[in-house]
Structure 1
Amino acid sequence: MVLHRIEQGLTTGRIRVGDRLPAERALAEELGVSRSSVREAVRVLEAMGVVRTAVGSGPDSGATVIADPATSIGSALRLHMATQFLPIPDVVQTRVLLESWAASAAADTRPDVTHLHAQLDAMDAPNLSPEAFHMLDERFHLTLSSMAGNVLVEAMMASLGDSIRGYILDAVPRLDDWAAVTVGLRSEHRAIVQAIGSGRGTRAARLVREHIEGFHALARTNR
């Protein structure tokens, strides 16, 4: 009942991002439920990235409505990945679909890609550990996806990145020559950025697909 009441409020616009939810006691009395039920509903909403809670009695206390879809999507994907129910090839294919579209859409606007080059320069630093390299790689791919201007795609890409991080790092020790692999990945990254910056959307999408599928095939071969 509490979740339905808040969902209705968001849908009708009576509750908006930045608003504070009614006090726990007020919601409980309005809906005829216990305060513990209200408290549990707020915990669920916080886990879903819909509210942020703060204790105390000041202006920032209580539950405030936020919009953080990546939190809930990422948590759900990580848990389902942990069950090993979602096949890695399906996750990779979903990433290819989203990111190749994002690269093509970004290229249509012929954006300034200076910030992408800066990120790639950071990945050229010598003696990067696999963990550090992958964190930079993940940030690069998320930045690229955000350039399409689709907030849902961006949230889903952030969640997919969280979900496959372990899979990628597990594959590194099995690769014959990690240093050589990073050389190839860096070269592919720069080709993708060049295609986006020059407005070649079809080429950018193809390069992204080949980049992601290529590493997945390499990791699978070295299992």
Structure 2
Amino acid sequence: MLDWVERELAGHRLRVGDRLPGERALAEELGISRAAVREGLRVLEVLGLLRSGVGSGPGAGTVVVAEPALAIGAALRMHLASEHLRTDDVVQTRVLLEGWAARNARADAPQLDDARALLGQMDEAGLAAPLFLDRDAAFHVAIAGATGNPLVSAMMASLRESIRDYTLALTERLPDWERTADRLRAEHRAILAAIEAGRRDEAAELITAHITGYYEEAAAS
């Protein structure tokens, strides 16, 4: 089942937005059981290649989509849980990836409008740490999206999602979360300003210091 979908995509007989035949038709075409088809569809949905809709309306059926962050994120979470990957490894990868993203983000990219809006949302009074960090993560994903590279954007989203719980747990070790949040807000604005002004190296340096500073502050507490 998985091999068939891969061949169809590679041969351009299936494209994003296309609807797959029903389970019975697929089972007959591939010469496998409907149970095997169903299991294959579930795997491909986890991999971010398919989306299943129930019912009989226009959203029903199994549709080809492109959401690679789902697959990367699921794999990272599993490897982190098994301790095959250490959180430090993910953080180091973040530094490398985000430094490149900040240096290569386009100043006219529409994703920067999203980043600016998220900064405003992070300014809300009394914002709880989990919600702040979710918007913080979305800000960094928007910067990655501004590079125009969909793989970088997917990897960024996956990395942030995979360490969400770890990053949130670090807030409990900080001596003064509100003070830290104020510092993060200021750093976010400086990063965005550097990108919009075309100061590429400065943007990369700022985002690197921003990422490492948070983890170093938590580790020292």
The TM-score with structure 1 as length reference comes to: 0.91
Q: Please give the alpha-carbon distance, in whole angstroms, between the structure 2 residues aligned to 1:212 and 1:126.
A: 23
Backbone CA RMSD of aligned residues: 1.8
**Which residue of structure 1 aligns with residue 171 of structure 2?**
172
Unpaired segments of 5 or more residues in structure 2? none
**Which residue of structure 2 aligns with residue 11 of structure 1?**
10
CA shift, 1:169, in A, is 1.1
* Contact residue 51 and residue 66 of structure 1 kept, 8 A: yes
Secondary structure of the residue that 2:148 maps to in structure 1?
coil
**Which residue of structure 2 aligns with residue 84 of structure 1?**
83
Q: Please give the alpha-carbon distance, in whole angstroms, between the structure 1 residues aligned to 2:113 and 2:40.
A: 44
**Which residue of structure 1 aligns with residue 162 of structure 2?**
163
**Which residue of structure 1 aligns with residue 198 of structure 2?**
199
Q: Please give the alpha-carbon distance, in whole angstroms, between the structure 1 residues aligned to 2:91 and 2:83.
A: 14
> Residues 1-80 of structure 1: matches in 2 within 5 Å?
2-80=1-79
Q: Please give the alpha-carbon distance, in whole angstroms, between the structure 1 residues aligned to 2:21 and 2:108.
A: 46
CA shift, 1:106, in A, is 1.2
Size of the aligned set, in residue pairs, is 220
CA deviations 1:161-213 (Å, max 9, x no partner) are 11111111111111111122112211211111111011000110111111101
Taking a change above 3 Å as real, the CA distance of residues 54 and 147 of structure 1, as seen in their structure-2 partners, is: same
CA shift, 1:59, in A, is 4.9
* Contact residue 91 and residue 160 of structure 1 kept, 8 A: yes
- Which deviates further from its counterpart, 110-119 or 81-90? 110-119
Which structure's relative contact order is higher, taking Cα pairs within 8 Å and 6+ residues apart?
1
Q: Please give the alpha-carbon distance, in whole angstroms, between the structure 1 residues aligned to 2:194 and 2:99.
A: 12
**Which residue of structure 1 aligns with residue 121 of structure 2?**
122
**Which residue of structure 2 aligns with residue 151 of structure 1?**
150
* Partner AA of 1:24 in structure 2: E
- The answer to whether 1:105 aligns with 2:104 is yes
**Which residue of structure 2 aligns with residue 136 of structure 1?**
135
- Which deviates further from its counterpart, 98-107 or 119-128? 119-128
CA shift, 1:3, in A, is 1.1
Q: Please give the alpha-carbon distance, in whole angstroms, between the structure 1 residues aligned to 2:165 and 2:21.
A: 40
* Contact residue 100 and residue 209 of structure 1 kept, 8 A: yes
CA deviations 1:10-34 (Å, max 9, x no partner) are 0010111111112222222222211
* Partner AA of 1:129 in structure 2: A
Taking a change above 3 Å as real, the CA distance of residues 59 and 170 of structure 1, as seen in their structure-2 partners, is: closer
* Partner AA of 1:179 in structure 2: E
CA shift, 1:158, in A, is 0.7
CA shift, 1:111, in A, is 5.1
* Partner AA of 1:178 in structure 2: W
**Which residue of structure 2 aligns with residue 186 of structure 1?**
185
